[in-house]
Amino acid sequence: MKTKILTGLAVLIVGLLGWTIHHAASAGRTPAAKAYNESADGARQVEAAVQEAQSGNKRVLIQFGANWCAWCLRLHGLCSSDRSLRQELEGHYSVVLIDVSNGHNRDILAKFAPRGSALGLPFLAVLDAEGALLRSQSPAEFVEGGGYNAGRMLAFLKSNR
């Protein structure tokens, strides 16, 4: 009897988890595809973004994160799906997403993260076209409810042009 109850609970939990993941992804809160290249060299990614920024007279926006981080994927999803954000990013930024899972790209993260800060993910850094750090911060101030506020993110981007 006890085994049947435990088995039933396990099936129910797995079913609810699958339903939750499916509906979160279909609602656009979590992109299904991986946003972060887990094998990419972050220093090379930044170098390529700086070159692109120089040729297009843009800033560089670095989003440090990981594919296992729901908030990282939410931020990436918002920037990809919101028309105003997408236009701002395409017109004024060279965007690079750097994976920092399990210490990956630790050196490039340390270069742009403020010393002694309590760093969480995702984490943003804005560079000028020469690759100099202009601003770094957590996007926590953009959080609203279970996601990010597109207007606050857009204001952040415009203030760093």
Condensed to tens digits (0 to 9), the pLDDT of residues 4-24 reads 443 333 333 333 333 333 334
17 vs 148, higher pLDDT: 148
Q: What is the mean pLDDT of residues 126-152?
A: 94
Which band of pLDDT confidence, cut at 50, 70 and 90, is reported for residue 114?
Answer: confident
The pLDDT assigned to 139 comes to 93
Structure tokens at 150: 């597109």
Tokens linked to 119? 């760093």
Q: What's the whole-number mean pLDDT along residues 21-44?
A: 68
Per the DSSP assignment, residues forming a β-bridge with 98 are 64
Evaluate if residue 132 carries a pLDDT over 50. yes
| Amino acid letter for position 146 | G
> Would the pLDDT of 25 be above 60?
no
- pLDDT band at residue 76 under the 50/70/90 scheme: very high
Q: What angle do CA 63, 64, 70 make, to 5 degrees?
A: 95
For 37-59, what is each residue's pLDDT tens digit?
A: 999 999 999 999 999 999 999 99
